[in-house]
Each structure stands twice: as structure tokens, then as C-alpha cells.
Homo-oligomer: A and B are copies of this chain.
């Protein structure tokens, strides 16, 4: 043997990950055992040092049970393996095994010893409702597009949306810092337009620019957004890294609500290898500090099923210690006409993100917004 038996002190506290394994029983059990090694010591089993490493660092199968289409393995890891850091927590949960077929992270079960390392959403549902002065009904959410409009044209759209009674107006996630709608000018004009509309309506509509950007730029853009009067921030953590979103959310000087966009994250939830909708767009997005999680709704131009969408809403509010509940934001080819149906499905704790659909309803954008608002004011 290359290593001596070795003992050192660990807390004894473990966190759990539920993995769905797409295989028959024998193969699934083998996969579960493999995960225990792969996600921790990444070492041949017969060479793992005896003592604390073999007994506690290596993952443990706490439960193993049959599902309709595979097996569910609950595997626990010592909290010390995650080293109090979000990146390393994600690494233990799904780092190397992201490269092994037929493994899906279904859900996380994290003790306070892990949760306390993360602030989570600053506003959450209650905080965002207070900010917007919308105590009860669903939140009305839209996007500025199409790409190619000038900052003036986008600001004019924002003004109309705000006059029509929309609560949250975000940049399309494709608006970055292109020459035709340069970030600073766009944010300044759109924030002013929304402020002007609020003075006329008495509403608390917020403008939410897209700060998805290179490493050094993302913090600068967040600060500039705050300075220029934006009321929230849009970020696509698939493009910036999930921890970059957490960093922005944790910043006490920026202190704006965060809207998480799913761009570049889809591959995790399509197919049998990845992370469940519930865990990725629910639990992990919350842990990474978002106050609202955008995802493509069922029945639009994307492929998520109704059950998958409902599971995201569940993941957005499942108890997770001090980590606040956040708004699920069904989007992606939403039409206003579907609102009554969606109210039945989601209830009132939801933000409906209708983009192109707001233009489609009729020729007058302000009237379309008012109609959208009327539909949700049944609450």
C-alpha cells in the first residue's frame, strides 16, 4: 500500500444528494458506488487509505430504491468536502459525474452547516413584493426586444410597458453592450423612461438591465445599473458562472433583486445526464442568490413539460433553512390568453414573463399591457 492508515477529525455532519440512475438494478448499484468514489477521492477503491478517508471522506449510499424508470440513490458526503465554497459544493454534487451517462441530480438535502455558508436571495418573494408594491397578485414581467433596436427605441418600449402597468421590465438577455444599444446609454434611458412612467401611474415598476458580461465587466455593469436607477439585474449564470451571480447577489452596495436567466443551461436538464429542473432552476438557482428564476414554460416554443415546470415552482419554495423562496417566472412563447389557465397551475406566487406575446395581442402595446394586468388582478 502507498498510504498508511490515518485518522483525523471531521464534524460527522453530512449533506445528501439524491441521484436518479437510469440503469437496471445491478448497474445502478454499481453506478452509486462509483459516484461515492468519483465525487470525492477519485481514486481506485483498493488503494483508498484506511481510516477517516475510507470511512468518512468517500461518499456513502444512505438509501437506494427503485423508481418507475430507474433507481434513486441518496448519497451523503461529509460537509468538509465542500470546503464552505459554492464552487466546491457544486463540484462534489456533480463535477466529474457530469461526464458519466445516465446520472441525474434530482434534489439536494443540505444541512444548516452548508446552507449557512450562503446568504441566498436578498429579497425573495416577500422582498420583491414590497419593492414592487404588489402584495398579492402575480407579478407582470416583460422584456425589451428585439435585438437591433436603438437605446432610444428600447426606452420608448419600456415607457409604454410601464404605463401599461407591467411590474418588471427586463432587457432581452441578448442585449449586452453592442454598438447599436450600448449598455450605459441604454440603461440610463430605460431607467429614466420607467421612472417617468411611474410618476404618471403611481406604480413601482422596475427596469432590469442585463449584466451578463465578461468577468471584470459584470460587477462594473451591476454598479453602473444601480447608479443609473435600475431596479433589478438580469444575469444568465450559465454564461457567467453560477458563483458570479451569487457574488452580485451578496453585494451589499449593489443590493438589487436578481433575475436569473436560463441561457446556456438547458443541456443540464435535457436528457438523462444532468440536473433536474427542480434542483437546477429551483434549489441551485436560489442558493446562488437569485430572487426570481426564469424558465421556458410548457406549451410555448420550448419543450419543458407541465410537470417539469411545476417542479421548478416547487424547488423555488421548498424549505431550505434561511434561504428565501423566490419567484418562478414561466416564459418563452407565453401568450396573454393563457394567463387564466396558468393561474390555475401556478396560483399567485408567480411572475409571468410575456415578451413577444405582448406585441401579438393587439396593435396598441399599452392596451395589451393593461389587458394582461386585468387578467391577473383576479387575485
Contact = CB atoms under 8 A, between A and B. Distances in A.
Interface of A: 2-3, 6, 8, 34, 38-44, 47-49, 52-53, 57, 80-81, 83-88, 90-92, 94-101, 143, 145-150, 153, 172-174, 176-180, 212-217, 236, 238-244, 246-247, 262-275, 296, 301-304, 332, 355-356, 359-360, 363, 365
A239 B356 CA distance: 33
A108 to B, nearest CB: 15
Q: How many copies does the complex hold?
A: 2
A240 B214 CA distance: 12
A52 B240 CA distance: 29
B53 A148 contact: yes
Contacts of A6: 148
Given A42-B355, A84-B177, 17 more contacts: A2-B365, A40-B147, A42-B147, A42-B356, A43-B355, A49-B149, A81-B178, A87-B236, A88-B174, A88-B177, A88-B178, A90-B239, A90-B264, A214-B247, A215-B241, A239-B241, A240-B243
Contacts of A81: 147, 174, 178
Contacts of A80: 178-180
Contacts of A172: 42
A236 B147 contact: no
Contact of A263 (B98, B214, B270, B360): B98
B270 A270 contact: no
Contacts of A47: 356, 359-360
28 contacts: A2-B365, A40-B146, A40-B147, A40-B148, A41-B146, A41-B174, A42-B172, A43-B146, A43-B359, A47-B356, A47-B359, A52-B148, A57-B148, A80-B178, A85-B214, A91-B173, A91-B264, A92-B174, A95-B173, A96-B173, A98-B265, A99-B269, A99-B303, A214-B243, A266-B273, A267-B267, A267-B274, A271-B273
